Each structure stands twice: as C-alpha cells, then as structure tokens.
Amino acid sequence: MNHVLQNLMHLTVRLECRAKDGRTSVGTGFHYKFWQRENNYYPVIITNKHVAENRDQIKFKLSVAAKDNSNDIKLHEFIIMVPNEKFIMLHPDPSVDLCAIPLGQSLNTFDTIAPNTNVIFSELSRNEIADPKFLNDLNPAENILMVGYPNGLWDSVNNKPLFRTGITATHVKYDYNGRKEFIIDAGCFPGSSGSPIFLSSNGMYAEGEDMVLGYRFKFLGILYAGPQHQVKGNIIIDAPFVHSPVSITNIPTNLGYAIKAERISEIEDYFKMGQV
C-alpha cells in the first residue's frame, strides 16, 4: 500500500492554463500510457476538455532528479506548452469531457537540455482500470481516494498534490442516468477537474456478502464537474435603502460527477499510433 501511495504523489500535474483573453485557470491532469507494448508506449497527460481546450498556454511542473540518485528529488522544472487544435487529442464524443495531451516531445526536449537528469513521474494505463467483473462485485458505497489540486492548492515547494477521501455516491457498476459516469461524495472544488479517482480499501472490506482482510486499489474514473447550490444573502449596509443589494454565492454540495476510466481507452483507440 505504501508503495502505491508513494507513486500517486508523482502521478498528477497541476495544469496552469491561460485562455486567449489572458485569464488563467488551474486544473488537474495525470500521466498515462497509450499504446503500451512492453517498454514502448506513447506518454500523455489525461485531463478534461474544459481544462485544456481553447488555451494558448498550458504550464505544469515536473520533478527532476540526478540520474545516479532518482530518490533525491530537489529540482522541479516548468514545462510550457502552446497547444493548437491538432495538438490536443479530444475524446471523439463531444459530450465526453476528456482529452489527452501528448507529452513525448516535451520529455525528449528536456532530455536533450538536461541529459544527466531523470524526470520523475508515475503513470497509469489500461491495466489499472477496473474491469466490469471487478465493478460488479463492488457495493453501492465504497471508499475512494482522489488526487489533485482543489482550488489550485498544492505543495509548491515539493511539487506534490493533495489527497481527498470519500465514498461512491452511486454504484459504479451502473451508468448514472444512462451515461458512463458515477457520482462521488467527497470534497470537490474548482481545480479538482481532471483528478483521478481510485477505489481504495485497506483492512476489512465487504466483497459481495463476504468480509475480506486485505488491500484493494483500482482506477475508477476522472472528476469533471459537480452540482452546486446558490445561497442568497442581503448585504448589510449602514443606511437602509428601498432596494437592498443581494449577494449570490455558489456553494459546493460535496458531490462530484466522474467519467468512468474506461472512456480513456476510447481516446486511445480513436487516435491510432502514427496518426498523431
């Protein structure tokens, strides 16, 4: 378990995105392997379309260590990308808020300018995605772990994300409202968009009607949105007026909409190797 959690610290990236009008926003992305064949694969960053699409700059930090001591991470370097329409691999279904950002060219460039260093990160692939049989054996409410940057918060000195825990609010084996999605009950805030969500059970857990002692860890999905409710309040002022101004605040409901992880494979299959 400790090894898994250590890897998760190097899985995600904090995406600082600049729109064409100059406004900036923060989202979450994570490393993923496309077209893996033994030791060969195509590295990408998975995130939401609304995080990366129509941006004129995407910036994130990668951790770096000397090649002779990969455990001694003291350096973090920014990668700056200038995306275009052909650069980002959008999910072929316009209604699915997922995309992949190719990373290979940036890694090759970094290796050229800093040949005595290694970029330190961990990656997911199809092998970590929960399959239908696994999902069918789950219970309606299961413990989950989400990794990302809620409200853009992070450990900037050590380049580390924040971990959030919660439970599944709908049964993951079902498609919520007919879509390949599910709902989680966890702290979901702007900046968490694109966060990977994992089933994480340690100790005694239920498996069907049986109780099992051990550890389970599987990739379930990607956060992309969450319902909010509005709170209206009168602004208190010194002198009364006939028309009182009202402030309207959006309050998160601690619920999040997640896209099932299997939909990443639809991007991978759509963009065949050699066509990007």
Report pLDDT digits (tens) over 222-261.
999 987 666 555 544 444 334 434 445 566 678 999 999 9
Containing domain of residue 7, as a range? 2-227+252-270
Per mean pLDDT, which of 43-57, 78-92, 111-125 is the most reliable? 43-57
Q: Which CATH number goes with the domain that contains 111? A: 2.40.10.120
| Residue 236 DSSP class | P
Confidence class for position 209, pLDDT limits 50, 70, 90: low
Q: Is residue 237 part of a domain?
A: no
Q: Is residue 17 part of a domain?
A: yes
Q: Is residue 239 part of a domain?
A: no
- Output the pLDDT for position 229: 60
The number of folded domains in the chain is 1
Cα distances from 31 to residues 104, 110, 208, in angstroms, run 11, 16, 32
Q: Is residue 238 part of a domain?
A: no
SS3 string, 191-237, reads CCCCCEEEEEEEEEEEECCEEEEEEEEEEEEEEEECCEEEEEEECCC
Q: Is residue 236 part of a domain?
A: no
